[in-house]
Structure 1
């Protein structure tokens, strides 16, 4: 009897899961966004000192509703526990580093159901610029998918938040690279939306008048036009740091990014 009951439970669970997947796909195809984003059996909270770092140093968090703040804290706590933080060249990994780096990842994935980014396992932190063995040059930051590591110069990471509307943010830039690769390797709803949106974004950029307007505007820095991957990382910096200007200057691209990241909060 016990075995039979277990079999029934397993079968019912499989049927419910399949039903959910069908509904999720139908909703995705109809509305171009996930059926839901936040669902937690038990929400985690941050220690008071870690929460204070968010309140004092992360303005995006303060723009969220009370409900969304609790979700944000839960995700930051989970992200910190999921990743290995490594200090190099004398860089001590303290709560400030963990919270601000995790908060950057959580901010960018806040419209996505899966936010832990399987393509990232380690966060390596140097005090300043470091020598990259990949490109044989000094770097401020890099994403190394071969070893699933994001690497930051802490000095330059902090400078990215010192001026919040200059469209220069190392953390946002490198995490965008990781999210981009994650979308190519994962088959979840958010990844499909992101990948499809990126393809549509590339089609927009093939229009000569659009590309010329972007270059002439001086709104995006020149590095954006290095290749398609750097383009995305740069425009996301602009999207996060100066959304009102972005919406005015390039509304079609703004709304495509908003759809890709499912940003429906904090005034975006």
Structure 2
């Protein structure tokens, strides 16, 4: 039994190191529905999103989710970055890159 657990742990560590399972986890999370605390401000304030057809809205939301999970939001002159701020910042970044499938602004890890 110990041998099987050991083999599984070694395989997971190896796969994590060489295949970046963190990236796969982020991609999986980004395919989930956008949480309501992020979706409401986007629906209310983002005119670009409001005018998209339903199919494109789903893609937009997935890209917003990906942006949210891959960026660290750091407050500078304010006490905290609220969920509404995160949603609108993420939606603006997605709006800039919407239609460009491989552009994720990965060189910006802190916002």
TM-score of the aligned structures, taking structure 2 as reference length: 0.69
2:5 corresponds in structure 1 to: none
2:11 corresponds in structure 1 to: none
Contact 2:38 2:86 in 1 (8 A): no
Contact 2:49 2:57 in 1 (8 A): yes
The answer to whether the aligner puts 1:120 opposite 2:108 as a matched pair is yes
**Deviation for aligned residue 1:99:** 0.7
1:58 corresponds in structure 2 to: 46
- SS of the residue 1:122 aligns to: coil
- Cα deviations by residue, 1:48-69 (Å, 9 ceiling, x for unpaired): 2211111111111011000000
Counterparts of residues 33-182 of structure 1 (less than 5 Å):
43-123=31-111
Contact 2:74 2:81 in 1 (8 A): yes
Whole-angstrom distance in 2 between the partners of 1:101 and 1:67: 22
Whole-angstrom distance in 1 between the partners of 2:78 and 2:70: 23
Give the gaps of 5 or more residues in structure 2. 1-26
Contact 1:106 1:115 in 2 (8 A): no
Contact 1:50 1:99 in 2 (8 A): yes
Root mean square deviation, CA, Å:
1.8
Give the gaps of 5 or more residues in structure 1. 1-39, 124-268
TM-score of the aligned structures, taking structure 1 as reference length: 0.30
**Deviation for aligned residue 1:115:** 2.9
Whole-angstrom distance in 2 between the partners of 1:118 and 1:51: 22
Greater Rg by CA: 1
Please identify which structure carries the higher strand content.
1
Aligned pair count reads 84
Query: Which structure is richer in relative contact order (CA contacts within 8 A, separation 6 or more)?
Result: 2
Please identify which structure carries the higher helix content.
2
Whole-angstrom distance in 1 between the partners of 2:54 and 2:43: 13
